[in-house]
Every structure is written in structure tokens, then in C-alpha cells.
Amino acid sequence: MQNIKLSGFLFIVFLALSFGMAVFYMPKGWENVENPTRESIMVGTWTPDFEKSLNESLPVFEPSRNLWGKIQYLLFGQGRKGVVVGENGWLFTDEEFSCLPSSLQHMAENLDYVAQVKNMIEGRGAKLHVVLVPAKARVYEEHLGRNKITQCRKDVYSDVLSFMKSNEITVTGLLDGIKSHKNKDTLFLKSDTHWTPEGAGFAAELVAKDFNLSGEIVKKSYVTEHTQNIEHEGDLLRYLPGVSDEVIRPDHLSVYKTEEVHAEDGAEVSESLDLFGDDVPPVTLVGTSYSANSKWHFAEFLKGRLQVDVFNAADEGLGPFAVMKTYLGGNAWKNSMPSIVIWEIPERYVVVDQSQKEK
């Protein structure tokens, strides 16, 4: 009887403390969410957002999350939703493994959009050059451990290449070249979704081999040099809370600098001059964070490999199709049309809704 009373007392204390903590931290939870509207409450979108914000404001949230993250990784070899854990510290985004509803329909719609973009660009006298970035899991399949590329994803890369070629869209498929070169350099980061600067540089080299610049374009001179090495905390580590650097070592990132080499007498010739004398880059790069993030240096490597100026219209946080729509609807396309548009497309986005954003 005494134990029952004690248990009841402790339960009441627990409820009181929980209620008090929730009331105390409720204003902090409220700070990070929009004010509720009738619509957001009715459709059930506001309550989960508020619950998530409240949980994250509690002082026990961070230690609990880190503890469970460490247990998941060390005991089960798993992380939170968002990451697939391979062997020897290799991590992969779960976007490369997911089998999404209506993926075949989305793929057909996305490829149809690529064909539309080709017609739109060529209709104004420019050319489209697609760069198909293979999934990291496809390149480093030997580091997947117990994981396998899912059946729904197996033929995506080859199907996209076939579509491009059958529709006469110029495309550089990076997979074969990267796989043959990966023993010489690490071309994708172990703890990150993206390629290394060396991977981006090699991709630029492969693009240059397939490139056909007009004879009217006068080239510039660019030189690229390595400046330093830094530690890099990969974007996939956020799905492994509590896992220390001693367990998964940070990636090391090479930092490069690319500069234009001017003629000694100052008589540098622009590669593309319009009627008003404006210096218009003949090449525009459209793409995702593989192109937009300066850490990978992809746009600059293209300058060096092609020896022409490149306008970088890529954007982080958006899929490749949304970025292209933004570019074609903007002033850069309307007012200073390039000779060639390079479109970097990671294969994992081909089977998702065009509105899908990057993680």
C-alpha cells in the first residue's frame, strides 16, 4: 500500500513538473512558429510545428536527442531519417534510395520539361548542355555496406541518358568517367551529399571534352591554384546527433582559387561583346548546390577548363527544375542571353515532383 501511495505521489510530481516546464517554455516554443490561423489549425499544420518547436526549446531536448542519436549509430548502425549509414564512415542521403509514389510520372514530367527547355533555349539561338550528376551511392556502391540501391532507382541514370540522346539533347553523363577516376582522387565527400572540389574539377574536365564553343567566342585565360586544406562538417552529420568527431572523422576539403590572367599590356579582349559594349559571359551555369556552393568551386573550374567566363545562376535549396524556371523567367535570360546554358541535374531529382527542394 505504501509503494502504491509513493508511486502515485511521484506520478503527480512528474505531471506537475512536466506541466510547469511546458508552461514556462511555451513562449519560447511560440517564437519559432507563425501565429496560428483558422486554416492552419483546421488542416492540422500548425499543431505539429508548434509541438516540434516546443520540444526543441525544452532543456532536455538536446541531451536526449544526442543520446539516442549515439545509441542508434553505435548499436544499430543507423541515423535519423535523412541519412543512410554505410561502411567506414561513409554516409549517403536517403533521397538516393527512396521509392516515391508516382515516381515514374514525375520522371516523365521532368524529362518532358527538359525537352521544353531545350526548345526554348534553341529558339533564341543558344544551346543547352546538360550535366547529369550520378548519385553518390551509385559511384561508391562498394561503401554501402548492408544497403543496396533500391530497385526503383536502378535504371534512373541510364534511362535519363537514353532520353537525352534520343531527343538530341547534348549531355555529359559523369558516371563512367568518375568511376574510372575515383581511385585517383576522392570525388565525393564521405559525410556530405556533395562532390569534393576534386570531383567538381574532374566533372568540369569531362564537360569540356563534350563542349562545342562557337568560333565567334574569344576565350579568356584563367588559372586555378590550390590555396589550403580545411576541415568540413558534412551536411549528413546533422542526421547523426551525438556522434562525435572521434567516431566519424570530419572530411578534409581542398580550397581552390581561380583568377583571370590579364594581358600584360592591358589589351585584354572580351569573349562576347554586345552592341553596347557590355561584357556578357557566353556561358551560363544553372543548377543546384553542386554548382551554387562556392566550396566545390564547380563554376570556377568550368572557367578554367573552358577558358571562358561563366555566369553562375545556380541556387542552393532548390531542385534543378525550379532553378531553371527561375532563370528563364528572370532578367539575366531576357537581357543578356548566353551562347550556351549548362544545366547541372543530379539524377536523384529526376523522379521527384518539380517543386521538391534540396535538403
**What residues act catalytically?**
192, 194, 289
Where helices occur in the chain by DSSP H, the ranges are 2-31, 38-42, 46-57, 61-76, 103-123, 136-139, 156-166, 175-181, 197-209, 289-292, 298-306, 320-328, 331-335
C-alpha cell at 12: 503527480
Kindly compute the dihedral angle of the four CA atoms of residues 227, 228, 229, 230, in this order, to the nearest 10 degrees.
-110
For helices 46-57 and 61-76, angle between their N-to-C axes, nearest 10 degrees: 90
| HSE value, Cβ hemisphere, 13 Å, CA-based, for 136 | 28
Beta-sheet pairing, 283-286 with 340-346: parallel
Supply the DSSP symbol for 107: H
Size of the chain, expressed as the number of residues it contains: 359
Distance of CA 113 to the CA centre of its chain: 20
C-alpha cell at 103: 515516381
CA separation for the pair 173, 164 (Å, rounded): 10
Distance of CA 187 to the CA centre of its chain: 15
CA separation for the pair 150, 90 (Å, rounded): 18
C-alpha cell at 73: 549509430
CA separation for the pair 234, 231 (Å, rounded): 9
For helices 197-209 and 298-306, angle between their N-to-C axes, nearest 10 degrees: 40
* CB neighbour list of residue 280: distance below 8 Å, 6 or more residues apart: 272, 273, 274, 336, 338
Q: Are 317 and 105 in contact (CB under 8 A)?
A: no
- Closest CA relative to residue 313, chosen from 334, 157, 235, 234: 334
